[in-house]
Amino acid sequence: MGAQAAGAVPGAGVAAVPGVAAGSGVAGAGPGAGGAGADPGAGGAGAAVPPAPERSEAALYHLGRRLLPAFALGLLVAIGLLGVADPRRFWEQLRRFDFALLAPILCLSLVNYALRFVRWELYLRALGTTLPRGRSLAVFLAGFLLSVTPGKAGELGKAWLVRELGGGPALRVAPAVVAERVTDLLGVVALLALGALAFPGGPLWAALGLAAVALGAAVFTWERWAAWLFARLARLPLVGRRSGELAAVYQGLRSLLSPGLLGMGLAVATLAWGAEGVGFVVAVRAYAPRAGFLAGLFDYTASTFLGSASMLPGGLGAADGALTALLRAQGLDTARATLVTFIIRGATLWFAVLLGVLALPPLVRALHRVARPGGGGPGRHGRSARAAVAGAAPPA
């Protein structure tokens, strides 16, 4: 199946979508795919490029600047939640918490990340992208940092990181990032439908949720609908010139949403986010031992979905507020609901951000090695390397 998918991306069916010329392959469409001259930031083959250490320091500086708003928003959310709860009652409940429970909660988060990394590897292989396992893991973990952006848009920077590390054109890899988000969304909706069974009218809501998953999968794989959409995008003044690249990415996405890979992606998403849902139930039962599993799964996935729909960095504010409100509605007092929210967000969102930070040094070292003469990679693209680590795609 991997060989089949890899062959589907560069040219199969792309010409059927308006905006993509016949025979134009994804492999040649990505920024930088055509050599040094293809990258506007490279300035041509003879342009002066800063040494690799300077590029890496600049990249880390830009990444830090992009993360500061997310950290500031996270601090404001924490202050707001503490302001709603009675501080004295909050600290009293914190002293009662069994911190040994953090071990299984964090392990369940690691299960989430491990399953999603396996999916990432399978997607890269299906697209014909080869990258050493260690570098691929570093890019995957750095994606947790890049995802703390509105709508997780910065996570597309993973595609440019893969390119800078010698894994092939970014436009070929971008469908893997999009497929991750699509299957994660569908998996969370499936878990939300399962959790709805805990409430009155649950079977009806569960059926509607599963129908939404099926409809979503159909929409993303319906080529006639995509051809209609891209034909209209091509007429727009700002988006029109990019419609060909978007159509190429869509063709790569369709290859990753073939029945086999779609089933794998959905299974991974359901198990991965279900594992974090179990971790949430563990935290809730520290204060409500008789809390229902399905109700807890509903609370966690509903807050995750609302956080994503808010388009806020990391869902900050929306996911936290929704989770606290759902726990309050199901019987926990404000102090305990706030504390459980703090614990689970720390063990999921901020734990992932920490892993992303830890992945930066080996990632920067890998970029250094590729940037050296004879390093075997496209390290000459100094500007795009900075943009990739900083979480923004270079202009094309």
The tens-digit pLDDT sequence of the chain (396 residues) is: 444 443 333 333 443 443 333 333 333 333 333 333 334 333 444 444 455 445 545 555 566 666 777 778 888 888 888 888 888 888 898 999 999 999 999 999 999 999 999 999 999 999 999 899 999 999 999 999 888 877 677 788 898 899 989 888 888 899 999 999 999 999 999 999 999 999 999 999 999 999 999 988 888 877 777 777 777 777 777 666 777 777 777 778 888 988 899 999 999 999 999 999 999 999 999 999 889 999 999 999 999 999 988 888 888 889 999 999 999 998 899 999 999 999 999 999 999 999 999 998 899 888 888 866 555 555 444 444 444 444 444 433
Answer whether residue 36 is part of any domain.
Answer: no
Answer whether residue 34 is part of any domain.
Answer: no
Rounded distance, CA 373 to CA 235, Å?
43
Written as one letter, the residue type at 165 is L
Q: Rounded to whole angstroms, what are the CA distances from 234 to 219, 246, 332, 347, 371? A: 20, 10, 52, 43, 37
Domain count, the chain: 1
Answer whether residue 23 is part of any domain.
Answer: no
Alpha helices, DSSP H, located in 222-258:
223-233, 243-256
Answer whether residue 277 is part of any domain.
Answer: yes
- How would you class 99 by CB atoms within 10 Å of its CB: exposed for 0-12, middle for 13-18, buried for 19 or more? exposed
One-letter-per-residue 3-state SS of 122-150: HHHHHCCCCCCHHHHHHHHHHHHHHCCCH
Joined together, the tokens standing for residue 339 give: 């504390």
Answer whether residue 3 is part of any domain.
Answer: no
The boundaries of the domain holding residue 368 are 50-390
Answer whether residue 29 is part of any domain.
Answer: no
Structural contact between residues 338 and 97, judged by C-beta atoms closer than 8 angstroms: no
Answer whether residue 32 is part of any domain.
Answer: no
Answer whether residue 86 is part of any domain.
Answer: yes
Structural contact between residues 375 and 49, judged by C-beta atoms closer than 8 angstroms: no
CA 382 to chain centre: 25
